Amino acid sequence: MAQLRRDYAEFVKRDAEILALGPDGPAAYQRFWQQEDIPYIGLSDIGSKTADLYYQEVNLLKLGRMPAVFIVDRQGRIRYSHYGRSMADIPENQEVLQELDRIRAEEGAG
């Protein structure tokens, strides 16, 4: 999450919003977001219903739910997805920002 916070302004420049989903309850999420001064949106997903809809893998041998990153366009279509194979398998911000640039150029051309 620190990685996303570091480059949050770059996402905003691209008219993108970051939504972080987690299994904690709303009060715990709000407390963590305030303590860590996280500028983007944190959503509580108790029971992991939303994560399950996106087929986010759970691997108890690797400490739980594996990370996943998606770019969803304004029409609700998934334009990019990355499913982590370990807790550390998260794409670099630059990769996601390049995908946002590519999608934006594609939409501008269409």
pLDDT at 79: 94
Number of compact structural domains in the chain: 1
Does pLDDT of 109 surpass 70? Answer: no
Kindly report, residue by residue over 33-86, the tens digit of the pLDDT.
899 999 999 888 888 888 888 888 776 655 677 889 999 998 999 999 999 988
Q: Which helix (H) or strand (E) holds 65?
A: strand 64-65
The domain of 31 spans 2-109
* 50's tokens: 């939303």
Q: How far is it, in rounded angstroms, from Cα 39 to Cα 63?
A: 26
CATH number at residue 92: 3.40.30.10
pLDDT of 94 higher than 90: yes
The mean pLDDT value of the chain amounts to: 87
